[in-house]
Amino acid sequence: MNEEEFVRFLYQSESDSLDFKREQYNFSKASDEDKSELLKDIISMSNSWRKVDGHIILGIAEKAEKPNELSGISEHIDDATLQQFVNSKTNQICNFSYSTFTYDNATFGIIKIPVQKRPIYLKKDYGKLKKNVVYIRRGSSTSEANLEEISLMGVPISGIRKYPEIDINFNDLETGESLGKDVKCRSKIYSISDNIPNYEEAKDSFSYLPKYENRNYYREVFEYIRFFNGYAPLKFQLINKGDIEAKNIKLDLIFLDTDIEIKHDGEKPREPSQSQFMALETVMTGKGEDYFTIERRSNKITAHMEVGILHAKRDLEAIGTLYINPTRERDLYIEARVYCDGVDHPFVSSLKIQFKYKEIRLLWSEFVEKYDQ
């Protein structure tokens, strides 16, 4: 596991394939009842309905408002000892591994459980657990599997249930190609240290028509250039990796850094015009479609979008664009949640933007010299 993979856990919630524990399990010199908690969690996730590796992360506490809480742990369980403990009690080999990971001067335990042959259950009673009972993880809790679930466990997962499986990446604005989940952006914010003059077109003594200058033209030019240099445009790609189409898709992009500036298509400036009539037309017709709606709260900013339908094994570029001014140099994380009909939990991904940021202060004459074409 690398640092990028680990950081994504900080922005995810518990699920069929992910479990968080603030502290290490009671294991060394613990009672059978205490040790059966660890045994149950490993077996339950081994039996869960999932297509990806499962993880039990020790040293992280889940929080409703992300990121999750990092506590770390000081004691670890030897992988070979844990393998012997679990597999001496199960009806067949349970594949898993225990490893450690260090992040932010703290150490964490990682129990990784791949998709494997099922069902797995105990041959004898142990602690709080009963023999011949199939324990299964459903969402963020564990319970006993019913007869229907057990009867289907001998069938490959891909042949049992057909669901959408939606992932999200950044998308290249020009090529439409996927950029993955980690991008780099630059932001340059201009300010003018003196006054921006009114625009006045040179008078033509031979013209019989009155002049209708847009006196705010220079100020609008400045704001236009400032916006497109300072706000990074972001587009997103949705991918349906599942076996059936996803219907009624809704996308939530959650920013926990609330000191950023974020705008949607309807808030970006249009190209300025020297004509007062054209400026008035811009005001009357609006600036653009509001594909995203942005909800600002004290602890987070959420950008909402409705997408519609995405067919199986296809990808789709979300039509809206977000524009972000980071206000300082930073790594900005986004928790992306995708909802659709027929699935009772969101698909959660973590996206990262590495921002370089620079503030540039100029005289108006210097700005004109730089951008006058």
Residue-wise pLDDT for 325-361, tens only, equals 999 999 999 999 999 887 777 888 899 999 999 999 9
Is residue 18 scored above 60 in pLDDT? yes
Cα–Cα distances in angstroms (integers) from residue 6 to residues 140, 167, 255, in the given order: 19, 18, 19
HSE-up (13 A, CA, CB side) for residue 267: 15
| Residue range 101-116, pLDDT digits in tens | 999 999 999 999 999 9
| Cβ atoms of 137 and 131 closer than 8 Å | no
Report the top-level CATH class of 166-371.
Answer: mainly beta
Q: 110 has which bridge partners? A: 57, 99
| CATH 2.60.40.10 placement within the chain | 166-371
- How confident is the model over 181-201, as a mean pLDDT? 91
pTM more than 0.85: no
Is residue 119 scored above 90 in pLDDT? yes
Q: How confident is the model at residue 160 (pLDDT cuts 50, 70, 90)?
A: low
Give the mean pLDDT of the chain: 88
| CATH 3.30.950 placement within the chain | 3-159
Decide if domain 3-159 falls under CATH 3.30.950: yes
Gap between the Cα atoms of 8 and 349, Å rounded: 8
| Cβ atoms of 282 and 274 closer than 8 Å | no
Q: What is the pLDDT of residue 74?
A: 94
